Structure 1
């Protein structure tokens, strides 16, 4: 592999434009993609310098944060990994419109819950007893659709599911195990929560990516855990693969740290010849029914996702294995922090989780995941408050 440092835009003679996600660091290209960038086809290239091939460094292990008190302390926040070349901890707080009084109120709320285990237990029990209405899932349970579900316990509600265009579907069906997740705008979803694709649903997945206008995918699972398949490998390792009428070309791959990496794809509709760039952020160390090893790594991951997504109006597609536990935890954290960054005066995290469960069953599956969400929000709020004018 070659690497090219810092890169913004490449335009080729046949009109294809390369827009790469960068953060002033390296981007990796396969030899096949490098062959596209020849002197005969290149019109414009900004800030590029080709260097010899390099070996990827081996990942190093980090220790888990020891206590909530250390997370909420006034001490400096360390980098999530020594391999992350550019720390982004100051990116989001610098642009936050968070209300200071709301921030302090949230911190107080979090500290109380995290210290009072009995109160946290009771709140989780109340959340477990919550029943969404309506909650029928009859469409996903049909014989023709049941085989498209990774698990039988997480099936989209009939009233809240993504419908594919039948005329473009490989199986002449509109069904995919995916749910639109609304935030402040009831007309346009902020997210699409979905399961990790199965071998038989990869074409449906890329159809959903195309039809939703998605440009950012958040993947929160390794492909396998202890030999158990969690998600099908739905992208090419090199070159391109064709999934029904959607051609996916791997353009670049960059390992940010031991916890996550970033891939860039060109997605082309072979019927219309239209194409666009899709960026996948893959957090691969978060195991099923568990929480990430550190808050900081996931918060850094989230900041990079949102930096890439900034200015877009399409939904972010978020998936783990079943599209509920890790997916729900990530969306809960992101939704609460986005509300605060926009200056919301009142934040009710339990009510926000109920709002998510109204749209997809099983969102946030364990008390530990809920507690992790509280701790992550508290840590980010604490970081934001430090840079806001008092």
Structure 2
């Protein structure tokens, strides 16, 4: 399927082909040219450099002549150690899986293994969607041994994908890495720049669903997909023979399109998705089940925003989900540092509002006044949910929800390991991932634990490697229990196979900080946990008098705790530089919790860019944790707090709120 190009992109394509012709390169098709240009955002010089590196890599590694229907390559392909799944992640990226326990370095060569990888990638890259959205590379180390690992091969594959192949490497997910892998991985990370390191994640099998929808993962990785590797190889054969018949090995006439629509899945937790009906996708939208996992309609480009150079205004544009910094692994150069304008990545919280400088945000809030902001909030709250709640509504899970009307979305829920092999519902907890500022899954929003879910809560803390817990409620408020005492005030408490020990408790004016130790009784491994409880925030409301300073001080305390805990991990942590998810809860996990997240995201962006987008942030948070920001006053408080912080930090000299709380009658008199 040909990629539709704009006039500017057509000119870039012609310039690219002309440059190749002038350099004496062999005749290259337009389709091939577009692949390289898409991989470098239609920068002709960079695309030309990628082409040269790609050609050099193919010659150096013996990837110029393939015999896929003859041994040894035929046997290599049939092992299934490397395959492309017939589904995509939430961003539209194709998913490649390398299963380490099927690789035996002594039985094959680097050349044959790389040929098997490239042969399949070439077929996958016939898809226009894959060219736009890129590739997620899953390195499955489950049940692998040291004899399965080939350090040099791993480095060659990573180097090729980042600097010598026309596909955008969106993410590398290393699943169930054994202890012996830590040392070689630490060395391997030295070869890549920091921004690429942030895309390399070592995850457990349960954590994998935070990066790739469960419905797009094979059963071996805890998913619902049952890919047919033989069918995929047959498709590769058709692509290859079509290319041979047309006289080229790239740019085959019939594009291979990995479905963006998840194939029919087996029942999970009692939910049966009929192959002939629609099902909810990872982003909460309906996904049509395609009859064939290898042929379906391509999805449209995702919609996002980018700056036009004015920090107070934004312009919409269509980009592919891979529109990130391109890293040349050989030079370590970050291309976009010098050549790209600032862009909102998928990791950044943005929504339907406009990012405003503090002065503009203050002017807008004063113009709308309290009742205008309340009306704006009511418009946001009136929108239907952005997803489904199937798992939260299962009979086996209903009792795990503190409130019957506060459920967690399916598409962003935290999936626990299955504690009971005979109970599929044992993977459920009322908790959702929420993105932070330029950080996927920066937070986990959850309800105040119930006595019956204490063990599930601590299991989530352990499995998500979280080190900081934020509690914005008291255990009892207005005579009602709002949250159980799930952590010990002193001594030790055991929940399942995890023990929680209180090391110290410090009482502050507005908060109580407890330092805890979480110990896995099965492995004897222990981790420090920082638990911060804000004690002056009423339910359904905002801090006393609407003053934000105490909350802002508490937020700063949480940030320091997270930074210190992440720094202490050192090389043990290979994820995002800001560390593992911070767990935040109140009673329901939506009102005060959503307000806390909104403030953190807005203030982080204000510090980094000098602008904030309260409305857009609230919309984004609500799309991941339903009903976040529960009351109008909380929405208003977010605006007031951001502006108060701007004054405290010198972005504004002062903020005049005269008339902000005037009612309609007062307005009429003044007019």
Tell me the TM-score normalized by structure 1: 0.68
Alignment partner of 1:354 out of 619, 630, 650: 619
For residues 9-24 of structure 1, what are the structure 2 equivalents within 5 Å?
Answer: none
- Structural mapping, 1:321-336, within 5 Å: 321-336=587-602
Q: Is the CA contact (8 Å cut-off) linking 1:103 and 1:381 kept in structure 2?
A: no
Query: Can you list the C-alpha shifts for 1:135-167, whole angstroms capped at 9, x where unaligned?
Result: 110110111000000011211111110000014
- Distance in 2, matches of 1:287 and 1:347, equals 26
Quote the offset at 1:284 in angstroms. 1.6
What SS class does the counterpart of residue 487 from structure 2 fall into?
Answer: coil
| SS at 2:469 equivalent | strand
| Aligned counterpart for 2:382 among listed residues 110, 129, 139 | 129
Higher Cα Rg, which structure:
2
What do the CA deviations read for 1:296-341 (whole angstroms, capped 9, x no partner)?
A: 1111111111111125410110000000001001100111101122
In structure 2, what is the equivalent of residue 369 of structure 1?
A: 634
Give the superposition deviation at 1:387.
10
Deviation for aligned residue 1:229: 0.7
CA distance in 1, matches of 2:363, 2:472: 27
> Which residue number corresponds to residue 400 of structure 2?
148
Aligned equivalents of 1:171 and 1:245: distance in 2? 18
After superposition, give the CA deviation of every residue in 1:354-376 in whole Å (9 maximum; x if it has no partner): 10111011100111011111111
Equivalents in 2 of 1:114, 1:196: separation in Å? 35
1:132 Cα deviation from its structure 2 partner:
4.0
User: How many Å separate the matches in 2 of 1:265 and 1:170?
Assistant: 32
**Structure 1: how far apart are the matches of 2:419 and 2:449?**
21
| Mapped contact 1:164–1:175 kept (Cα < 8 A) | yes
Matching residue of 1:300? 553
Query: What's the counterpart of residue 269 of structure 1?
Result: 520
Contact 1:325 1:363 in 2 (8 A): yes
Give aligned pairs, total: 283
Using the alignment, how far apart are the partners of 2:419 and 2:628 within structure 1?
A: 31
Q: Is the aligned partner of 1:228 residue 2:480?
A: yes
Query: For 2:457 and 2:415, how far apart are their aligned partners in 1?
Result: 11
Q: Which runs of 5+ in 1 are unaligned?
A: 1-101
Q: Distance in 2 between matches of 1:146 and 1:287?
A: 27
Structure 2 counterparts to residues 27-106 of structure 1, below 5 A: 105-106=357-358
Report what 1:341 is aligned to: 607
Which residue matches 2:534?
A: 283
Larger mean CA deviation between 193-202 and 376-385 belongs to 376-385
Change (3 A) 1:275 1:381: same
Equivalent position SS for 1:166:
coil
Give the C-alpha shift of residue 225 in structure 1.
1.1
Q: Distance in 2 between matches of 1:137 and 1:194?
A: 15
Residues 1:158 and 1:240: Cα distance change in structure 2 (over 3 Å)? same
Deviation track 1:35-62 (CA, whole Å, cap 9, x = no partner) reads xxxxxxxxxxxxxxxxxxxxxxxxxxxx
Question: RMSD of the alignment, in Å?
Answer: 2.3
> Residues 476 and 483 of structure 2 are in contact (CA less than 8 Å); yes or no, is this contact kept in structure 1?
yes
Distance 1:127 1:192, change over 3 A: same
Given the superposition, is the C-alpha separation of residues 217 and 132 from structure 1 closer, same or farther in structure 2, using an over 3 Å criterion? same
1:157 aligns with 2:409: yes
1:171/1:221 Cα in 2 relative to 1: closer, same or farther (>3 Å)? farther
Alignment of 1:150-189 (within 5 A): 150-167=402-419, 173-184=426-437, 188-189=440-441
**Separation in structure 1 between the aligned mates of residue 518 and residue 405 of structure 2, nearest angstrom:** 31
Q: What displacement does 1:131 show?
A: 3.0
User: Which of 192, 197, 208 is matched with 2:460 structurally?
Assistant: 208
Shift of 1:208: 0.5
1:357 aligns to what SS in structure 2?
helix
Q: Distance in 1 between matches of 2:377 and 2:505?
A: 39
In 1, Cα distance between equivalents of 2:403 and 2:526: 32
Kindly indicate which of the two structures has a greater share of residues assigned to helix.
2
Q: Deviations over 1:190-244 (max 9, x none)?
A: 1000000001000000000111111100000000112211000001121111000
Equivalent position of 2:494 in the other structure: 242
CA–CA distance in structure 2, aligned partners of residues 254 and 169 of structure 1: 41
Name 2:61's counterpart in structure 1.
none
**C-alpha contact 2:400 2:430 (8 A) present in aligned 1:** yes
**2: CA distance, partners of 1:362 / 1:387:** 32
From 579, 603, 606, the equivalent of 1:313 is 579
Task: Give the structure 2 partner of residue 379 of structure 1.
Answer: 644
Measured in 1, the distance between the counterparts of 2:561 and 2:472 equals 17
Aligned counterparts of 1:132 and 1:104: Cα–Cα separation in 2 = 27
TM-score by length of 2: 0.40
Partners of 2:496 and 2:423 lie apart in 1 by: 10
Whether the 8 Å contact between 2:374 and 2:635 is mirrored in structure 1 is: no
Structure 2: which 5+ runs fail to align? 1-353, 567-577, 654-671
Cα distance 1:118–1:289, how it changes in 2: closer, same or farther (>3 A)?
closer
**What is the rounded CA distance, in whole Å, between the counterparts of 1:170 and 1:322 in structure 2?**
29
Asked which structure has the greater RCO (Cα within 8 Å, sep 6+), the reply is 1
Deviation at 1:170? 12
- 1:341-361: CA deviation from partner (whole Å, max 9, x where unpaired): 222x65321111110111011
